Amino acid sequence: MLRVARGEAYDPGCTRCPRLAEFLAEVHGSYPDYWARPVPSFGAADPRIVFVGLAPGLHGANRTGRPFTGDYAGELLYRTLYEAGLATRPESIAADDGLELRHARIINSVKCVPPGNKPLPDEIRSCNAYLKAELAALERQSAELTARWQQEMAHREEHLAQFTDLPEAIWEAHRRVAAALDAQD
């Protein structure tokens, strides 16, 4: 089942690519402790920057369940994200290590580990449906946030306009009080 939540499009039980589903079953048999399922995206739900990787590595993301985690490929990436202020730690060790990304998100264009790290064109096309759905959801979310921000700004401007009008309102009250006092004379 396709899940689209918090910008993520993902089916944890997807077997759309028979060759990859078969390979995952083999890997699971050889390495029962490995994640060995489609690897979900990782990072901020409302990112300003999105990194798109190709596919999970056999002993990296396929083992840990987090993109670019557990092998050499991710070391440079996460250190660079940390130095840029986009990650709370310089390294990603495991899916439950507490690391968080700020304003950044990592998505694999193929979510299942392919044999020899080489997905076939059909597999890339199949999985691109998830990538497209996720990017579209992020874009919609970003448009909604922009609309909400514009509403908030309009509301604030209205609120400020009341204060801009305040001196005139005070003058009007002053004129009425003065007129009432004149009338008593």
Residue 69 lies near ligand SF4 (rule: CB under 6 A): no
Contact residue for ligand SF4 among 7, 38, 43, 67 (CB under 6 A): 38
- In the bound state with ligand SF4, the residue whose beta carbon lies nearer, of 63 and 111, is 111
Answer yes or no whether residue 9 interacts with ligand SF4 by CB under 6 A.
Answer: no
User: Could you tell me what percentage of the chain is helix, strand and coil, using 3-state DSSP and rounding each to the nearest 5?
Assistant: 50, 10, 35
In angstroms, what is the minimal distance from the CB of 76 to ligand SF4? 25
State residue 53 phi and psi, 5-degree precision: -95, 170
Cβ nearer to ligand SF4, comparing 23 with 78: 23
- Enclosing H/E stretch for 108: strand 104-108
In the window 91-120, what residues touch ligand SF4 (CB under 6 A)?
110-112
Burial 9-48 (b: 16+ CB within 10 A, else e): bbeeebebbeebeebbeebeeeeeebbbbbbbbbbbeebe
> Which is closer to ligand SF4, CB of 105 or CB of 111?
111
* Sheet with 49-53, side-by-side order of all strands: 42-43, 104-108, 49-53
CA dihedral 34, 37, 43, 46 (to 10 degrees): -170
Minimum distance of ligand SF4 from residue 57's CB (angstroms): 14
Min separation Cβ 54 and ligand SF4, Å:
11
CB of 90 to ligand SF4, least distance (A): 29
User: Which residues between 120 and 139 bind ligand SF4 (CB under 6 A)?
Assistant: 123, 126-127
Asked if 20 interacts with ligand SF4 (CB under 6 A), we say: yes
Nearer to ligand SF4 by C-beta: 87 or 131?
131
Report CA 180 to chain centroid distance, whole Å.
63
Parallel, antiparallel, or unpaired for β 42-43 and 104-108?
A: antiparallel
Q: By CB under 6 A, name the binding residues for ligand SF4.
A: 14-17, 20-21, 38, 110-112, 123, 126-127
